[in-house]
Amino acid sequence: MPVPFQRVYLESAGYFMPGDPVPNERMDDFIAPLNRMSERIKRRILAENGIRTRHYAIDAEGATRHTNAQMAAGAIRDCLQRGGAELSRVSLLASGSSGGDTLMPGFANMIQGELAAAPMETLAVHGICAAGVSAIQAAAQGIELGAHRSALAVASEMPSRLFKRSRFAARGYETDFDSHFLRWMLSDGAGALLLSDGAPALAGSPGLRLRLKWVHQRSFSGDYPVCMQLGLTEDRARGHLDFASWSEAEAAGALSLRQDIRLLPHLFDIGIHEYAGLVRDGWVDPKRVDHFLCHYSSEKFIPVVEDLMAKAELSIPRERWWSNLAWRGNTGAASILVMLAEFLHTRALKPGEQVFCYVPESGRFMAAYMLFEVEAVEAPPVMVAPRAAATAAAAADDELVIAPPHDPAAAPAGLGALLTELAAIWHDYRSRVWRTPLVRQIRERRFAVPDYLNWMEQWVPQVREGSLWMREGAASLSEPYQALSSLIGVHAGEEQNDFQILFSDYRKAGGTVERIEDLRRNPGGEALNAYLHALAATRDPIGLLGAIYIIEGTGQRIVPALLPLLKASLRLPPDAFRFLEYHGHNDENHLNRWLLAVEMVMAVEGQARAARQIADTARHTAALYLMQFQHITERISHANA
């Protein structure tokens, strides 16, 4: 299933192509033919692939003029310059490549070092052509989850170092067809995209912005043998690390980049069938696609793709296709980013237009797709397909999800340090909850009534315990805390019947369990319940205020963002959501009362000791509450269900 996005925009794009364009007639200056067979292969391949010029990061003597990391950094600088953006804005760098300049560290870290960038999150995707799409998806997911405001996706390839004549000297310049083939197909280059959570306008296109609607990738590596590889011998029997030395591995051909072209027809067949599924499920409409950016390694494959699309009755007219293969060459994982960047720099877009991207990967067969849509900056939010994402109401509630329950900057005197620590605990907890199977299922509109009932069946007995451990904790408070004990008693009294409301919601939604006693908490709920009751039984358990902070914060900050998604996905009457509505509206009052309780504790206990107990309990509660979320998607059997 595609990964949908609601608030990810392509702000700017750039690329870096090393050196001057190299026409076909000058390729021998860089990667000379090895023997007579090589010359024949060269003529045949160049006649078919349609590439007229390409770029190499090596010179005529085979010396490296630009490293892979330098090319990636060059693409990033071009991207940022075109968008008028500063690198300091970026908090995530995701890279995609078939290989950097080092075996270790990871490529993204080497790029960060090349840029001398400030500390940031990095991710390196190692693959072949689809690795660039994986980097884009990773960057987009970081933004969609609220972990980052701006992120860079970069892909860079430098296969020329593998193709220079000296690499084949150990084999006497004799080699097999599969390792000859790619020498005349691949070249060097890098592309970069700057993604953000609300770009004001696409660089170079005032009044327009380009939203990433979804990304879909699927690997079929379990279905087919290796097609394109580096590191195995020709017969795939030995890997390069299985030899006694690097020189022996090279002499055996284990360091030659190969492609089994006999398998390639399967790749396009897979890709078209996957595309047909996207159309069938409503993710893309061929009639609405205005620009089709297809990464094919050779123009020979254009009629193959066209024919397969036509047979599936899913054709995109040829005049809507766009490619720069002829003058930029095939740069592997970087190709789609270089293509997007140059397309955006040279084409005028209009609101409502869609840009559909397709990247087949021949390593062990993958298919990757992306869909962008042009929006007018001043236009209201675009309605999206029901399958594709969350509702506008959820987007409006996003800030609720991002913010901690209390702003440390607005804290009462003496509480700033505690609220700052709790905010850090909260942000980590919220981010983790947002990635649980339950919440992802809700956000991706895959949540059905049986899923809702399953959740309620586990949650009702958990909520039932809330007032019980609060009353137990209040009873364990000594004389100096009697005012606090009374305040907790009031709070517990207000919530003691909440589980009845939730159970009523469950029954109105179609729940079949008739007695609350027959419902069971999941393992995470059991662990949380045991922890809170055990803590409540100790003398002066003031740390319970940390537990209340997490639990009430969940009701105030997370539930309001999930509620409109649940209502949009589930065809249930309004009174099946009474509990969720109640907590979304009332937990803010509860958290204000919590602040008063914390001030009472600190007046008796002392700020440092009280703050430590509250923060520690909040951290433990967050971990256990998260465990409860993680287990919700597991079905629970009930005695009378």
Tens digits of residue pLDDT in 484-510? 888 887 777 766 677 788 888 889 989
Q: What is the distance of C-alpha 541 from the center of its chain?
A: 40
Q: Tell me, which fold does domain 7-376 have in CATH?
A: Peroxisomal Thiolase; Chain A, domain 1 (3.40.47)
Q: What is the distance of C-alpha 372 from the center of its chain?
A: 16
Which tokens go with 95? 């890279």
pLDDT at 583: 60
Mean confidence (pLDDT) of the chain: 86
pLDDT above 70: percentage of residues in the chain:
90
* CATH 1.20.910.10 location in the chain: 413-631
Per the rule left: phi > 0, alpha: psi between -120 and 50, beta: everything else, 510 is: left
Task: Give 346 or 576, the one with higher predicted confidence.
Answer: 346
Which tokens go with 27? 């390729």
3-state secondary structure of 95: strand
pLDDT at 390: 33
Read off the pLDDT band of 228 (50, 70, 90): very high
Of 69-73, 163-167, 311-315, the range with the lowest mean pLDDT is 311-315
Q: Mean pLDDT throughout 507-514?
A: 90
pLDDT at 408: 59
pLDDT at 395: 34
pLDDT above 90: percentage of residues in the chain:
49
In terms of Cβ atoms closer than 10 Å to its own Cβ (0-12, 13-18, 19+), residue 599 is middle
Which tokens go with 255? 């360091």
241-276: pLDDT as tens digits: 999 999 899 888 899 899 888 888 888 788 888 999
Contact (Cβ atoms closer than 8 angstroms) between residue 369 and residue 356: yes
How far is the C-alpha of 250 from the C-alpha of 46, rounded, in Å? Answer: 27
How far is the C-alpha of 596 from the C-alpha of 94, rounded, in Å? Answer: 44
Read off the pLDDT band of 85 (50, 70, 90): very high
* CATH 3.40.47.10 location in the chain: 7-376
Which tokens go with 371? 């869909």
Task: Give 557 or 99, the one with higher predicted confidence.
Answer: 99
pLDDT at 588: 53
Residue 85 backbone dihedrals phi, psi, to 5 degrees? -110, 155
Asked if residue 393 has pLDDT above 70, the reply is no
106-160: pLDDT as tens digits: 999 999 999 988 889 999 999 999 999 999 999 999 999 999 999 999 999 999 9
277 sits in which H/E element: helix 264-280
Task: Of 10-19, 456-465, 487-496, 565-574, give the range with the top mean pLDDT.
Answer: 10-19
Contacts of 432 (CB under 8 A, 6+ apart): 626
3-state secondary structure of 23: strand
In terms of Cβ atoms closer than 10 Å to its own Cβ (0-12, 13-18, 19+), residue 148 is buried
Q: Mean pLDDT throughout 579-595?
A: 65
Which tokens go with 398? 């996003």
Contact (Cβ atoms closer than 8 angstroms) between residue 509 and residue 453: yes
437-467: pLDDT as tens digits: 888 788 777 889 999 899 888 888 888 887 7
Find where tokens 């997007």 sit.
Answer: 340
Distances (CA, A) of 496 to 414, 517, 521, 582: 32, 16, 18, 14
Sign of CA dihedral 495, 496, 497, 501: positive
How far is the C-alpha of 242 from the C-alpha of 274, rounded, in Å? Answer: 37
3-state secondary structure of 193: strand
Asked if residue 398 has pLDDT above 90, the reply is no
Please tell me the number of Cα atoms within 13 Å of 511 on its side-chain side.
27
Q: Mean pLDDT throughout 580-586?
A: 63
3-state secondary structure of 121: strand
Task: Of 168-172, 558-562, 585-589, give the range with the top mean pLDDT.
Answer: 558-562
Task: Give 311 or 104, the one with higher predicted confidence.
Answer: 104
CATH architecture of the domain with range 413-631 = Up-down Bundle (1.20)
Largest CA distance in the chain: 97
In terms of Cβ atoms closer than 10 Å to its own Cβ (0-12, 13-18, 19+), residue 637 is exposed
Asked if residue 397 has pLDDT above 60, the reply is no
3-state secondary structure of 239: strand
606-637: pLDDT as tens digits: 778 888 999 999 999 999 999 998 998 876 55
Which tokens go with 23? 């026409």
